[in-house]
Amino acid sequence: MHLHTTKPCSLDALRSEIDAIDNQILTLVERRTALARKIAQAKAERDTVEAEIPLRPIREEQLLARLANRSGSVPPASIRTIWRELMSLSLQAQRRTEIVLCAGQDNAALTQRAMRRFGSGAPLRPLSDSDIALEAARVDGAIAVIELRPGEDWWLALADDPDLSIIAELREPGMRHPALCIARVAECHLAKERRWLVLDEAQALERIMNGETLCPIANAGTKRLCVVEQIDEPMRGAA
């Protein structure tokens, strides 16, 4: 009687299989990026000129949540890291989108955090003036990443700005101060679960009375920059 045993794969064979999978992954990434370019071309062929950048925070969050739920073994944090990079490639393929950074002594930490959020290949430009950073977002279609330092009230300009919205907050260990990401993104494309609003005291109190959860993160006179959780109806991100 002969026993047939399965011969274990050699390390070289396993590594060759990984190499083949890597090649397939690269092909799919390039295909994904090419589709993003086709989307930009389709918009151009319709003669539609969009003032806002082709960034869709609500779709990004839905995509990341769907993949995290679908994953069997890949941690959600790894999914976010990998797909943030892929989404950045798609954004830059549709239109070159500059990231302008306005930080103090935390410039290195903020740069690293911005790269993790908007991709390692995104064009970055440091600025020292928050007004110039906001103007770059408003006029040039950049994403402004501005530190939220105590005593500074640059965010008040967002209260009456019909074009700019706060799309994200960067906050992590190693950063002295959080930073806000501001861009020309329509209200309908903002994530619904978390918004950033500039409110006066009466508006903030009214929202609290209506059952909304508000967390002030900056104050200037009677104005409050608040994080608003789980808004049921769409509202402007910073107006």
Write out pLDDT tens, residues 91-132. Answer: 999 999 999 999 876 688 889 999 999 999 999 999 999 999
pLDDT band at 223 (very low <50, low <70, confident <90, very high): very high
- pLDDT tens sequence across 11-58: 999 999 999 999 999 999 999 999 999 988 888 777 555 567 889 999
Q: Quick one: CA torsion of 43, 46, 52, 57, rounded to 10 degrees?
A: -40
Token output for 211: 């059952």
Domains within the chain, CATH numbers bracketed? 50-191 (3.40.190.10)
Instruction: Find the mean pLDDT for residues 198-206.
Output: 90
pLDDT for the residue numbered 151 = 87
Residue 57's H or E segment, with its range, is: helix 57-70
pLDDT for the residue numbered 80 = 95
Q: Per DSSP, which regions of 111-200 are E strands?
A: 124-127, 143-147, 165-170, 179-183, 194-200
For residues 60 and 181, is the Cβ–Cβ distance under 8 A? Answer: no
Which position has the token pair 């393929």? 93
Given the DSSP bridges, would you call strands 99-102 and 143-147 parallel, antiparallel or unpaired? parallel
pLDDT for the residue numbered 51 = 62
Query: Residues of the chain with pLDDT > 70: what percent?
Result: 88
- pLDDT tens sequence across 143-176: 999 999 888 999 999 998 999 999 999 987 666 7
For the whole model, what pTM was predicted?
0.86
168: which strand partners?
181
195: which strand partners?
228
Q: Residue 3 above 60 pLDDT?
A: no
CA triplet 193, 197, 200: central angle to 5 degrees? 140
Q: How many residues does the chain have?
A: 239
- pLDDT tens sequence across 56-78: 999 999 999 999 999 999 999 99
pLDDT for the residue numbered 238 = 39
* Rounded-to-integer distance, Cα 5 and Cα 203, Å: 74
Query: Residues of the chain with pLDDT > 90: what percent?
Result: 63
For residues 201 and 224, is the Cβ–Cβ distance under 8 A? Answer: yes
